Amino acid sequence: PHLLIQAFNPLSTNLAALALCAVAWLAEAPTATDS
């Protein structure tokens, strides 16, 4: 399990950053694609 956590930690950080980016993008996107 320890090895799995070590391998998953960077992925989790990447996913968190990607999610944050997606939220920031979605916050602006609707204004341009709102119909």
Question: What pLDDT, on the 0 to 100 scale, is given for residue 22?
Answer: 94
Element (H, E) at 1: none
Distance CA 20, CA 13 (A): 11
From first to last of the 35 residues of the chain, give the pLDDT tens digit: 788 777 778 888 899 999 999 999 999 877 666 65
pLDDT at 23: 94
Using CA atoms, how far apart are residues 25 and 28, in angstroms rounded to an integer? 5
- Residue 24's CB is within 10 A of a number of other CB atoms, namely 10
Please state, in angstroms and rounded to a whole number, the distance separating the CA atoms of residues 4 and 6. Answer: 5
How far is 3 from 7, CA to CA, in rounded Å? Answer: 6
